[in-house]
Structure 1
Amino acid sequence: MSGINILDWERMLGEQVIHIQKYRKQWLLETASGKWVAKPCRSHAHLRWWFWVDCELRQRGFDRMPLCRTDGRTWLLTAWIDARPASYHRMDEAGKAADLLSRFHQAGRGLLTPPPYCRFYSLRERIESRYRSFSLLLDQAEQMEGELGQLLRRYGKEFLRLGNDSRRKLMQIPLQEWTDWERSRRCLTHRDLASHNVLIDSSGNGWLIDFETADYDAQVGDLWQLLSRTLSQHRWDVVVFKRILSNYESHRVLAPIERLILASLLGFPNEFFREAVGISLNKEGYMKEKTLPYLNKIAESLSGYRDFLNRWIGW
């Protein structure tokens, strides 16, 4: 409990904290009215920005995110949701995630809250950073032992080629101009659509959580993340692609330029890049017993991925 002031939490909640326990590297607080998750924040500016964005979203009718309280400096308290992480392997839950994301995006267009006073990493910058990291990793593949080294030597160059092709296509279309336009109009993005950031409660309702990376950016980047993660689980099944896209567009129809950008983004093998780099650096959350089978699954689906790109990249 070192460095923790329970009185700060009680002032934020306006009631007494009667029980505290560790919860996924955070703190779970129990009060007479319910439970709250206490999480320290790295950026004061982003914390304050998100608090006002949260208020705006609720005013606009989007409330599928936990209630939050903050001291504006260090702590973010969010109401505990009795739910489990979504599984993108399950088509119904991936569809719910697409529906939830679409409503989040629609409510988050043209917000009044100014951008956060933080370093902004655009969608293009994040793609370039991921490509460079994987390229550097691939340079070490010949000396790398174990299953990861074998995967990189067998499939790495082909995935790198696909990534480079996607980068070239993105340079030929106005991705940065579109990003700048959406940012100037304060279009909200989540930017971390991992399945553990989408919760499904006992009633089957979806909840969006963890907004530490949220910012004003190109919203199509979120949809790309969701599609890439889901289609990698479903071996790039066209039926799955159509259903996710249909669920998303039931609330927010993509602009023609967004379809063009999305078509190019889908050619970037982000899942293979991220997982390979993550496990090589022993990043938190990348465990060999889960990550290596997932990488194998992605690699084994390479022919299906190519076929998907050839048939549907200009849908």
Structure 2
Amino acid sequence: MDTAFVKKIVAEKYGVMAVTIEKIKNVYLICDERRKYCLKIIKYEKPHFLFILATIKHLYNNEFKAVPPIIETLDRKEYIELDNNYAYLTPWLAARESNYDNPLDIEMTAKVLAELHIKSKGFEIKDNMKPRIGWFKWFDNYRTRKKEILDFKARIEKKEEKSEFDIIYMEHMEEELLRCDQALQHLGESDYYIKMTKEIRGRGFCHHDFAHHNVLIGADNRVAIIDFDYAILDTHLHDLASLLIRRMKNGKWDLENARFILEAYDSVYRVEPEDIPIMAAFMEFPQDYWQVGIQYYWEKQPWGEDFFLKKLAKIIEDKEEKQEFIDEFMFFNYKGKGGRTY
């Protein structure tokens, strides 16, 4: 999208007379003579965009101050239509990306995530929204992804000439398919359905992309959460288990690392003993192995063979230590004691 067009639109819709505009991924950094703004572009159909916008508004209206406020247009609308997409404007945050290897950052991040989950409670779905829904779907998702891995196998077998990636991916497939079955079995042995039945009544949601670059930390150590594009109606354990993975992957699988995050989260939102086996099953499913297969065989991303080989090598290198951790974590006798219960 041409920056001259963006400049014209923000002047018309917001009265912002931009001096400079810079495109950074799916946002535009817009500077006038006094302030900096972020114009966030969402490339989804309108019903899903309205769901994303509503999650942000719900948190802000519930006094969750870690989301930047949405700036209304001159005619008091919360978003604009922009070149067949939708966009909203917020202040630009002067902050750095969090570092999940930094104990102070990960502690603050876990506490803010817990607060986000509490403040997400009571979310109301309206007829004009089309949300992502994760309630009760973990079993179906894992079974579907296992079938997709088998589809990758069929595609590889049909090739007359197999790439190096194909050969290595196939070498590890039987083990990963077994891991799919183990994750399904362990999820079935957990209190997953009981937990979901309880949590769905709370009508909360997850951020669903709690990566370090979506958690910003200002000079005053205030945490800000951005990019709700993947928000989903699901248990808070989805986000918490994902945070554990992001902190420990690539050779940092350690029960003390997990305990540190759980204690920080638990100081705000109680972690129950039955939560541990559910999260362990979530973490056990070979999501990274499945995802790199999707990118290579279905999406055919143009990232080059070397990129995929390096990505696959990291997954393979990490899997034994990860499984050893999960086998221990599944029976971790953690007793929450600090935060609120729901």
TM-score, length-scaled by structure 2:
0.77
2:101 pairs with 1:104: no
CA-based RMSD: 3.2
Aligned equivalents of 2:102, 2:145: Cα separation in 1: 27
Deviation of residue 44 (structure 1)?
2.0
Whether the aligned pair in 2 keeps the contact of 1:188 and 1:219 (CA below 8 Å) is: yes
Paired AA for residue 221 in structure 1: H
My pick for the range that moved more, 61-70 or 185-194, is 61-70
Aligned equivalents of 2:43, 2:125: Cα separation in 1: 20
TM-score, length-scaled by structure 1:
0.83
Q: Which residue among 166, 181, 197 is the counterpart of 1:164? A: 181
Deviation of residue 72 (structure 1)?
6.0
My pick for the range that moved more, 238-247 or 118-127, is 118-127
Whether the aligned pair in 2 keeps the contact of 1:29 and 1:38 (CA below 8 Å) is: no
Equivalent positions of 1:1-315 (< 5 A) are: 1=1, 4=5, 6=7, 8-10=9-11, 12-31=13-32, 32-69=34-71, 70-71=78-79, 74-111=86-123, 114=126, 117-118=129-130, 120-122=132-134, 123-124=137-138, 125-141=140-156, 143=159, 145-173=162-190, 175-176=192-193, 178-179=195-196, 181-281=198-298, 292-315=309-332
Give SS of 1:242's match: helix
Whether the aligned pair in 2 keeps the contact of 1:22 and 1:28 (CA below 8 Å) is: yes
Paired AA for residue 261 in structure 2: I
Change (3 A) 1:233 1:279: same
Aligned equivalents of 1:119, 1:112: Cα separation in 2: 11
Query: Could you report, residue by residue, the CA deviation over 1:42-75 in whole angstroms, capped at 9, with x for unpaired residues?
Result: 1323333444433332243321122224326522
Deviation of residue 243 (structure 1)?
1.3
Aligned equivalents of 1:290, 1:99: Cα separation in 2: 35
My pick for the range that moved more, 160-169 or 120-129, is 120-129
Whether the aligned pair in 2 keeps the contact of 1:115 and 1:186 (CA below 8 Å) is: no
Give SS of 1:188's match: coil
Aligned equivalents of 2:153, 2:104: Cα separation in 1: 36
> Percent identity at matched positions?
20
Aligned equivalents of 1:293, 1:100: Cα separation in 2: 33
Paired AA for residue 210 in structure 2: L
Whether the aligned pair in 1 keeps the contact of 2:248 and 2:257 (CA below 8 Å) is: yes
Query: Could you report, residue by residue, the CA deviation over 1:50-105 in whole angstroms, capped at 9, with x for unpaired residues?
Result: 44433332243321122224326522223322334334344544443322211211
Aligned equivalents of 2:66, 2:300: Cα separation in 1: 30
Query: Could you report, residue by residue, the CA deviation over 1:269-313 in whole angstroms, capped at 9, with x for unpaired residues?
Result: 222322343244456696766654343233123322232222221
Whether the aligned pair in 2 keeps the contact of 1:263 and 1:314 (CA below 8 Å) is: no
Aligned equivalents of 2:98, 2:305: Cα separation in 1: 21
Aligned equivalents of 1:220, 1:288: Cα separation in 2: 35
Whether the aligned pair in 1 keeps the contact of 2:96 and 2:218 (CA below 8 Å) is: yes
Change (3 A) 1:38 1:265: closer
Whether the aligned pair in 2 keeps the contact of 1:114 and 1:186 (CA below 8 Å) is: no
The equivalent residue for 2:337 is: none
Paired AA for residue 258 in structure 1: D
Change (3 A) 1:114 1:172: farther
Change (3 A) 1:116 1:308: farther
Whether the aligned pair in 2 keeps the contact of 1:197 and 1:208 (CA below 8 Å) is: yes
Change (3 A) 1:239 1:103: same
Change (3 A) 1:108 1:40: closer
Deviation of residue 113 (structure 1)?
6.0
Deviation of residue 252 (structure 1)?
0.7
Whether the aligned pair in 2 keeps the contact of 1:49 and 1:115 (CA below 8 Å) is: no
Deviation of residue 39 (structure 1)?
1.0
When the two structures are aligned, how many residues end up with a matched partner? 315
Q: Which runs of 5+ in 2 are unaligned?
A: 72-77, 333-342
Aligned equivalents of 1:63, 1:286: Cα separation in 2: 38
Paired AA for residue 110 in structure 1: G
Deviation of residue 244 (structure 1)?
1.7
